[in-house]
Amino acid sequence: MKVSRASIRMFTVRIKVERTPPISTATGIKGSPEVAYEQLMATPIDPVSKETVERLLTESPIGLFETFVLNDDNRITIMKGDEITNLDDQKVYKVREPMAWTNAQIQLVLEQQRSS
């Protein structure tokens, strides 16, 4: 499913996705995050809606954010725990909940430690 030209204009933020490999069976050590995807286009990363917060039932020092990632060729897989870096401001978020929104977009709920 292709995304309309009007929708594509909403994807203005460049992100990269890093994934931490599983713990090595040989050493018992978890490796450093590796880049899974570079230069993906996403919508601006904004605080989640009240409805999403209520659905996730969270009251914590973690701030929740959401974005939509352009996936018009349906080749991107983003998993819970992946790290998302906004390449424009270098802020890093952790994927809390990847949700399929349409075949052409992936909705992500992200978390980030709130500043004190």
Strand partners, 16: 85
pLDDT at residue 4 in the model: 73
pLDDT at residue 1 in the model: 56
Least confident of 34-38, 58-62, 78-82: 58-62
Q: Kindly state the average pLDDT of the residues 52-77.
A: 77
Among 114, 31, 15, residue whose Cα is nearest residue 69:
15
pLDDT at residue 25 in the model: 80
pLDDT at residue 75 in the model: 83
Q: Are 49 and 79 in contact (CB under 8 A)?
A: no
Work out whether the CA dihedral 108, 19, 94, 57 comes out positive or negative. positive
Where along the chain do its domains lie?
Answer: 5-113
CA angle, corner 90, sides to 87 and 92, nearest 5? 105
pLDDT at residue 89 in the model: 92
Q: Kindly state the average pLDDT of the residues 89-102.
A: 85
Q: Kindly state the average pLDDT of the residues 46-51.
A: 81
More confident residue, 82 or 5: 82
32 pLDDT exceeds 90?
Answer: no
The architecture of the domain spanning 5-113 is Beta Barrel (2.40)
